[in-house]
Amino acid sequence: MSAVRPEPAQVWLSEDKPARFVWRGRRYAVLSVLESPQEEAAQAWRCWRVTASPARGVPGSAFRLCLDLERGNWYLWRDQA
């Protein structure tokens, strides 16, 4: 079994939640937030589970978007859950 590696993404927020992102050159609109980060003091990453779609009428897929707080970079995983 191969390990799944995160990929860089550009993320735009609305009301402190992901609203849209670009991944592999394609823009996605966040349809819903399934999980938000827990407010804990010593976190290095803040992660959201979202459903997102690249276009109207296209069913959403699940993604995990994580912000590396130390570096300020966003990363994306396709959510297999």
Q: How many domains does the chain have?
A: 1
Calculate mean pLDDT across residues 28-32.
97
CA distance 48 to 79: 11
pLDDT at 3 over 80: no
Cβ contact 29:21 at 8 Å: no
Report yes or no on 34 lying in a domain: yes
Calculate mean pLDDT across residues 12-21.
96
Cβ atoms within 10 Å of 24's Cβ, excluding its own: 9
pLDDT at 10 over 80: yes
Range of the domain at 39: 7-78
What lies within 8 Å, CB to CB, of 9 at 6+ separation is 21, 22, 23, 65, 74, 75, 76
> In percent, how much of the chain has pLDDT > 70?
91
Report yes or no on 49 lying in a domain: yes
User: What is the rounded average pLDDT for all residues in the chain?
Assistant: 90
**pLDDT score of 38:** 80
